Amino acid sequence: MQRLSFELLHTDGAARRGRVTVPHGTIETPVFMPVGTRASVKGLTTDQLAQLGPEIILNNTYHLMLRPGVDIVEQLGGVHKFMGWNGAVLTDSGGFQLFSLASIRKIREEGVEFRSHIDGAPYFLTPEGSVGIQTRMGVDIAMAFDECPAYGLSHAEVEKSMQLTHRWAKRSLAARRTSALFGIVQGGIHHDLRKASAEEISSMDFDGVAIGGVSVGEPKAEMLDVVNFTAPLLPKDKPRYLMGVGTPEDLVNGVAAGIDMFDCVMPTRNARNGSIFTSEGKVAIKNAKYATDERPLDPKCSCVTCRTVSRAYLRHLHTNDEIAAAVYNTIHNVSFYLDLMRAIRQAIASNSFGAFREAFLAVERESRVAGGEKDA
RNA sequence: GGAGAGAUGGCUGAGCGGCUAAAAGCAGCAGACUGUAAAUCUGCCGGUCCACGACCUACGGAGGUUCGAAUCCUCCUCUCUCCA
């Protein structure tokens, strides 16, 4: 059976409407993948997640190899069976963790030596090891093992890191078996490096190509610049994945640049922290002004949360640290993201994505201005 | 009736002569969050103001000692514990 197939159905400017098929289903792109690091989309049961209808979610190699461990996941029939999830799964290779947990690792040519953040136990992860783990967990799409350089490094340092990522990409690819495998373009904020990396990674036989090393602390304008510059350099006949991005606005801009896949912690984490995405901008549900607000979070949303409870009740739940606050907020935020992607797909299909994007960004701008006036 | 302990900012609770507008926690108010070590983190939190600074009112009440008192003394009010 084929690992992955990609069909480019339609384009509207640079925006692409496509379809990715993997063993666990068909994914309509552009797509947003909710993040479920430890084989759990935080705040949701697998059933609740399924009700929201994402076609694919993201899990994490680093976290799952530490707990419960690859052996256990494999023994239990793979990550899908483990969490009772029938949709597709993409795993990050652990490259990002070795960036965000920088203090407890040592990078070498062969791989990365690191200590578990849980119990300090020593591990050694290589490209072959990472891809092997992802394969054994039975994921639909695995990511190449890369190094994610921090923002602010010199051109020379980013270049050196990028070259290591390229060597690791070759080794990752050689280790590909049953799971599809995406390569990752690095290069920081430097156009020449991004170009070199895009060419190098694109030349390899990956099933898809990702832009990594973005949203690591750089100003938003630089991120946009990197995406706008790099996306057009990627193969047209493969899915393009922008890793770790982003805000609703970022998704719309990413699609405009020609990105097909996104993942981000933002809808789930912000939900737990009481920050809600709505069609009218952000709602900080803990704010006193919602104490007696009987409206739903978003009048244009039809998710379970918006159909059932008021802002006043959600503020009450959040104020009292009730678990239901996280559940309701996560349901809504994930719904909002999935709805947004649906609307984006529709706009592309009807050749109106440009207008859609303009209207969307105008609302975002307005809500920001409105929030600013309130603060002043 | 007798003996003792205590009254501190919305609450709990440190401080026990100057470095105290007064620790810390909670509550409250606001902000952040981008391939998840995050149900987390940060800021503000007596009042007023042209508020980086200034002024006013402050540690139960009234006096007193002292250059200086939430901190020491006297009396008063109230609370709690124990013994009758």
Condensed to tens digits (0 to 9), the pLDDT of residues A331-353 reads: 999 999 999 999 999 999 999 99
Q: What is the mean pLDDT of residues A7-20?
A: 98
Place of tokens 């992955």: A4
Q: Position A153: which residue type?
A: L
- Check whether residue A296 has its CB closer than 7 Å to nucleic acid strand B: no
Q: Is the pLDDT of residue A143 over 50?
A: yes
Q: What is the mean pLDDT of residues A194-200?
A: 98
Chain A residues 18-77 within 7 Å (CB) of strand B:
35-37, 41-42, 58, 60, 63
The pLDDT, as a whole number, for residue A353 is 98
Chain A residues 239-258 within 7 Å (CB) of strand B:
243-247, 250
Q: How confident is the model at residue A374 (pLDDT cuts 50, 70, 90)?
A: very low
Cβ neighbours of residue A264 closer than 8 Å, sequence gap 6 or more: A32, A35, A244, A245, A246, A247, A250
A298-313 burial, b at 16+ Cβ within 10 Å, e below that, comes to: beebebbbbeebbbeb
**Strand pairing class (A88-92; A141-143):** parallel
Q: Which residues of A are catalytic?
A: 92, 263
Cβ atoms of A61 and A127 within 8 Å: the answer is no
CA–CA separation, A201 and A193 (whole Å): 12
Rounded to whole angstroms, what are the CA distances from A6 to A201, A223, A231, A244, A292? 18, 26, 17, 21, 49
Which residues on adjacent β-strands are paired with residue A27? Answer: A20
The pLDDT, as a whole number, for residue A1 is 59
- Residue A270 phi/psi, 5-degree rounding, is -60, -35
Question: Residue A274: which nucleotide is closest by CA–C1'?
Answer: B39
Chain A residues 336-365 within 7 Å (CB) of strand B:
none
Distance between the alpha carbon (CA) of A7 and the C1' atom of B62, Å: 89
Cβ neighbours of residue A185 closer than 8 Å, sequence gap 6 or more: A194, A197, A198, A201, A209, A210, A211, A212, A213, A230, A234
Q: How confident is the model at residue A188 (pLDDT cuts 50, 70, 90)?
A: very high
Backbone φ/ψ region at A6: left (φ over 0), alpha (ψ -120 to 50), beta: beta
- Check whether residue A105 has its CB closer than 7 Å to nucleic acid strand B: no
pLDDT in tens, A296-332: 999 999 999 999 999 999 999 999 999 999 999 999 9
CA–CA separation, A263 and A66 (whole Å): 22
Question: Residue A250: which nucleotide is closest by CA–C1'?
Answer: B34
A10 three-state secondary structure: strand
End-to-end CA distance of chain A: 60
Percent of chain A scored above 90 by pLDDT?
93
What mean pLDDT, rounded, does chain A reach? 95
Q: What is the mean pLDDT of residues A355-370?
A: 87
- Check whether residue A321 has its CB closer than 7 Å to nucleic acid strand B: yes
Q: Which residue is nearest to nucleotide B38 (CA to C1')?
A: A269
CA–CA separation, A279 and A298 (whole Å): 7
Distance between the alpha carbon (CA) of A320 and the C1' atom of B61, Å: 39
The pLDDT, as a whole number, for residue A2 is 82
Q: Position A237: which residue type?
A: D
- Check whether residue A183 has its CB closer than 7 Å to nucleic acid strand B: no
Report the Cα A120 to chain-centroid distance in Å: 28
pLDDT in tens, A63-74: 999 999 999 999
- Judged on CB neighbours under 10 Å (0-12, 13-18, 19+), A161 is buried
- Check whether residue A130 has its CB closer than 7 Å to nucleic acid strand B: no
Q: Which helix (H) or strand (E) holds A327?
A: helix A323-349
Cβ atoms of A247 and A266 within 8 Å: the answer is yes
Q: Is the pLDDT of residue A371 over 60?
A: no
pLDDT in tens, A275-289: 999 999 999 999 999
The pLDDT, as a whole number, for residue A167 is 98
CA–CA separation, A209 and A200 (whole Å): 11
pLDDT in tens, A91-130: 999 989 988 887 788 999 999 999 999 999 999 999 999 9
The pLDDT, as a whole number, for residue A370 is 63
Q: What are the E-state strand segments in A169-294?
A: 180-185, 208-211, 240-242, 261-264, 275-278, 281-284
Place of tokens 């990550």: A79
DSSP A30: S
Cβ atoms of A93 and A146 within 8 Å: the answer is yes
Q: What is the mean pLDDT of residues A16-34?
A: 98
The pLDDT, as a whole number, for residue A375 is 33
Q: What is the mean pLDDT of residues A219-247?
A: 97
pTM for the full model?
0.94
Q: What is the mean pLDDT of residues A242-266?
A: 97
